[in-house]
Amino acid sequence: MSQQIKDLTKNVQILLKRKTQQFMLGRVLTRPEFLPFLSGEKTIRVFTPQKHMFKALLRVDDATSSSFHLEPRGVIPSGVDAGTVLLLAFDSDKENYIVQCVVGAFSFLTISIKSLDPRISARRLTLIPATFFNVSDEFFKKITKEEVIVRRIAQDPEAEAPVDKQLCKDLFFDALSSDGKEINIQALFNSDSNKLVGLLTDISSGGCCIQLNKKSGSWQRETFQFGIVQFEIPIGDGRGGSIAVLIRDVRMSKGSAILHCMFLEPLPTGFLIL
């Protein structure tokens, strides 16, 4: 079985350093916290698919529509062209906001952009059992301080071993220990208060939706920021996942909590395909 390992630490820094919300680009026109960005008082951070960053001013082309463009400040990293997907980060005092967009017309002076749904890849309806580990504030802080580092391990079956299951895991390691010991999430968050069961209602390469089962007490007392979703998808000989997720939205429905989740790193190509 072949194995690929990726370091997700930069993704954690971008997405988790401060409380973060993800939303559609057009909403910046309706919320007062974005006035400093629209007026040119503050720049935004723009990240390329290769995680390279540059700063830019956000401009509205027409106040009656949701047409925008970027005015770069500094050097634009290579690889940005028409059709490139960019991640915009709006830094505020209380929390960060992130938006996905795609480049339209491109020049070194101005970059027209169009809004994208937070999940641009096709969703697969699943309705399969899943487990969600709700990370504690203490562990969350360790991640953002890089006392805990995150690695993505993707395992693909070899051609001569078709019965092997395809696996995708985000593993956590103690950066302060001399041997970089792996942290056993299942053992760490095995209590009823952190380990929650539910249904993985749909999944795409960039995120998923999970509906948690009812439990005693009120969901309103729960804080959902970051967690780990474990699941088994019956595709071929099986797809197993234990994926770190950023919670970008929480809805309450008939006593259940519905979490809309964003993966720190998209699933491997072909993971959701038979």
Q: Could you tell me if 169 and 182 are in contact, meaning their C-beta atoms sit under 8 angstroms apart?
A: no
Residue 152 is assigned to a structural domain of this protein: yes
- Worst-scoring range by mean pLDDT, 72-76, 163-167, 196-200? 163-167
Same domain for 96 and 135, yes or no, is no
Domain count, the chain: 2
Identify the domain containing residue 195 by its residue range.
2-8+120-263
pTM of the model: 0.67
Residue 273 is assigned to a structural domain of this protein: no
Same domain for 180 and 67, yes or no, is no
For residue 116, pLDDT over 60 is answered with yes
**At a CB cut-off of 8 Å and minimum separation 6, what does 246 contact?**
15, 16, 20, 22, 225, 226, 261, 262, 263, 264
Of 97, 115, 133, the residue at which a domain comes to its end is 115
CA 27 – CA 208 distance, rounded (Å): 22
- Worst-scoring range by mean pLDDT, 94-98, 189-193, 214-218? 214-218
Same domain for 198 and 129, yes or no, is yes
Q: What is the CATH number of the domain that holds 101?
A: 2.30.110
The predicted pLDDT at position 118 comes to: 62
For residue 19, pLDDT over 70 is answered with no
Residue 65 is assigned to a structural domain of this protein: yes
The predicted pLDDT at position 164 comes to: 64
Same domain for 48 and 75, yes or no, is yes
Q: Where are the beta strands (DSSP E) in the chain?
A: 2-7, 20-22, 44-47, 53-62, 67-73, 85-91, 96-106, 111-115, 124-134, 148-156, 166-174, 182-183, 195-203, 207-212, 226-233, 239-253, 256-263
Of 115, 150, 166, the residue at which a domain comes to its end is 115
Residue 67 is assigned to a structural domain of this protein: yes
Q: What is the CATH number of the domain that holds 246?
A: 2.40.10
- Worst-scoring range by mean pLDDT, 58-62, 86-90, 92-96? 92-96
Of 63, 85, 115, the residue at which a domain comes to its end is 115
Same domain for 58 and 109, yes or no, is yes
Residue 16 is assigned to a structural domain of this protein: no
Same domain for 242 and 171, yes or no, is yes
